[in-house]
Amino acid sequence: VSIHDQHLHRGAGGELHQFAENRQDVLTTSQGGPVADDQNTLRVGARGSALIEDFHFREKIFHFDHERIPERVVHARGYGAHGFFETYESLSDVTRADIFQRAGEKTPVFVRFSTVAGNKGSADLARDVRGFAVKFYTKEGNWDLVGNNIPVFFIQDAIKFPDMVHAAKQEPDRAFPQAQTAHDNFWDFISLTPESMHMIMWIMSDRAIPRSFRFMEGFGVHTFRFVNADDQSTFVKFHWKPKLGLQSVAWNEAVKINGADPDFHRRDLWQSITSGNFPEWELSVQLFDQDFADSFDFDILDPTKIIPEEILPVRPVGRLVLDRMPDNFFAETEQVAFMTQNVPPGIDFSNDPLLQGRNFSYLDTQLKRLGGPNFTHLPINAPKCPFHHFQQDGHMAMRNPVGRTNYQPNSFGEGPRESPAKGYRHFAAQEQGTKVRLRAESFADHYSQARQFYISQTGAEQRHIAMALTFELSKVETPVIRERMVAHLLNIDETLATTVAQKLGFRSMPGPADAAIPTRQDLEASPALSIVER
């Protein structure tokens, strides 16, 4: 029993080609019935009431009424393209993943770039993280490397993600700002979340307003594992380096571009690919073992930390080329479903508590967003390798098991069976401990890498960070939030903190912030809280 139907895999948008070929034919209903008049509803006399019998009208309007699906809960605004990944050399010593076995191997990919906070119709040049999500259609199933253009994240534990996203997006009573971090809720959350300080330095830097998608880096962020044929594990961090180099726009340019052309990044990718100017990135890895990990005073499971490239240089392992725009934005870019848990044999997870939470969240959200369990039947989400399973039915099932048996084992010698040799084997990590809700002490330093990042910037870039913080915090109406932020900045760089404080008109400086998340009691005891009213 093979439920793999090659006919359904003509590639994303295959069905749409049928429409295009039929362009000159007679207009039909979706049931295939030919239409005689698509301009007038059926009515009683030319000026009379409409008839419910008008199945043509009802079908057309019913379908239109249902055109929208929920936008992504984050990363709602995005733009995608097809291309390929080419492996430079075999990495069989560290991973059994088929995609990394042979030099010159080409794997089809679909990539979606996005902003995080803004809604689907927001402007492209908002100050924000950019998503950099890659779906590799490998010979061993889909591998989704769902990354960002910034190598660290706001929070260390996935349980904080809903709060972080609520605070970043529009405030629920007023429904604005729609794509701006410059508001009280965002900075309130950040000022109460010391672990976000490293990310905040990146977000306030020029990295958060890229000139185009073609000029930005990408990062897998978390520490992942490679696992080889002997079941040995090597830690790995993934980096995408743009062949064109890094470029950003200045804030005043971004503001103007957003007004003049909110589709600036979309247009740039469309024009460059359709004119044969294919953007390219190199995939690089940082590979290391447990002893190396233990040599740091930060934790390699902490997604607010990087491993500096001066300490562990990145090694290029392949290139990504984007050479084809989707035929249909909705069918492909909107309906593509990235999920961190899509990994082929040879790629595995670390215990990063953010990654572990993501591995639950993405499947859950796709079920809701794409309307049920059969979203892998959509061409953009289907694997491009043979696949055989007994999943069946559900809304919109396009492929069901063929024949009698839809279970295994069975006595009829039919259908696929599991394969310990070829199948996915989870790395047999040693685990033991007490069940707790506790952040490891090794996750406690929130300022050192924030400082390193700030210091690594040129003078002009540092000024941009100070200007961005000043602009953002000047939009914050609640004084204590500004004060708390300046108190955090004091732990990062004193000159930065005093510059921002002066520009905001502080009469005196607060003391440095505490690196712990304040408890409710802390906040109640804080005299500043008396001015939190707004």
- List binding-site positions: 72, 112, 161, 358, 362, 369
Active site residue 148: yes
Query: Least Å distance between CB 158 and ligand HEM?
Result: 4
Among 90, 178, 365, 391, binds ligand HEM (CB under 6 A): 365
Collapsing DSSP to helix, strand or coil, 82 comes out as strand
# residues near ligand HEM by CB under 6 A = 27
Among 123, 158, 227, 343, binds ligand HEM (CB under 6 A): 158
Q: Is 369 in the site for ligand HEM (CB under 6 A)?
A: yes
Collapsing DSSP to helix, strand or coil, 88 comes out as coil
- The amino acid present at 25, given as its one-letter code, is D
Q: Is 218 in the site for ligand HEM (CB under 6 A)?
A: no
Tokens of 41: 């509803």
Q: Which residue is nearest to ligand HEM (CB)?
A: 131
Q: Which residues contact 482 (CB under 8 A, 6 or more apart)?
A: 187, 473, 476, 504, 506
Q: Is 371 in the site for ligand HEM (CB under 6 A)?
A: no
Among 4, 22, 40, 148, which one carries the catalytic annotation? Answer: 148
CA–CA distance from 316 to each of 90, 243, 473 (Å)? 12, 12, 39
What whole-number distance in Å separates Cα of residue 384 and Cα of residue 358?
24
* CA 99 distance to own-chain centroid: 22
426 phi and psi angles, rounded to 5 deg: -65, 140
**Nearer of residues 284 and 499 to ligand HEM, judged by Cβ:** 284
Letters for 58-77 (x = contact with ligand HEM by CB under 6 A, - = none) are --------------xxxx--
Tell me which residues in 114-143 interact with ligand HEM (CB under 6 A).
114, 131, 133
**Per the annotation, where are the binding residues for heme?**
72, 112, 161, 358, 362, 369
Letters for 324-353 (x = contact with ligand HEM by CB under 6 A, - = none) are ------------xxx---------------
Among 85, 136, 143, 153, binds ligand HEM (CB under 6 A): 153
Candidates 300, 303, 324, 322; CA nearest to 311 is 300
55 phi and psi angles, rounded to 5 deg: -65, -30
Candidates 404, 405, 381, 406; CA nearest to 392 is 406
What whole-number distance in Å separates Cα of residue 235 and Cα of residue 348?
9
**Nearer of residues 12 and 480 to ligand HEM, judged by Cβ:** 12
| Cβ proximity of 476 and 482 under 8 Å | yes
Among 83, 118, 147, 326, binds ligand HEM (CB under 6 A): 147
Candidates 265, 237, 210, 225; CA nearest to 151 is 237
Tell me which residues in 266-295 interact with ligand HEM (CB under 6 A).
none
Q: Is 112 in the site for ligand HEM (CB under 6 A)?
A: yes
HSE at residue 121, side-chain half, CA atoms within 13 A, is 0
The residue ranges that bind ligand HEM (CB under 6 A) are 72-75, 78, 112, 114, 131, 133, 146-148, 153, 158, 161, 221, 303, 336-338, 354, 357-358, 361-362, 365, 369
Supply the residues annotated as catalytic: 75, 148
